[in-house]
Homo-oligomer: A and B are copies of this chain.
Amino acid sequence: MPPPATAPIGVVLARTAKTAARAFDHALATAGSSQPIWQILISLKTRTVANQRELADAVGIQGATLTHHLNGMETTGLVTRRRDPDNRRVHLVELTDQGEQLFHRLATAAIAHDKRLRTGFTDDEITLLASLLHRLAANVTDEPAP
Contact = CB atoms under 8 A, between A and B. Distances in A.
Contact of A129 (B110, B132, B137): B132
Contacts of A7: 130
A97 B90 CA distance: 54
A8 B110 contact: yes
A126 interface: yes
B135 A121 contact: yes
A15 interface: yes
A136 B140 contact: no
A16 B133 contact: yes
A10 B16 CA distance: 10
Of the candidates A13, A15, A19, A23, the one having the most CB atoms from chain B within 10 angstroms of its own CB is A13
Contacts of A145: none
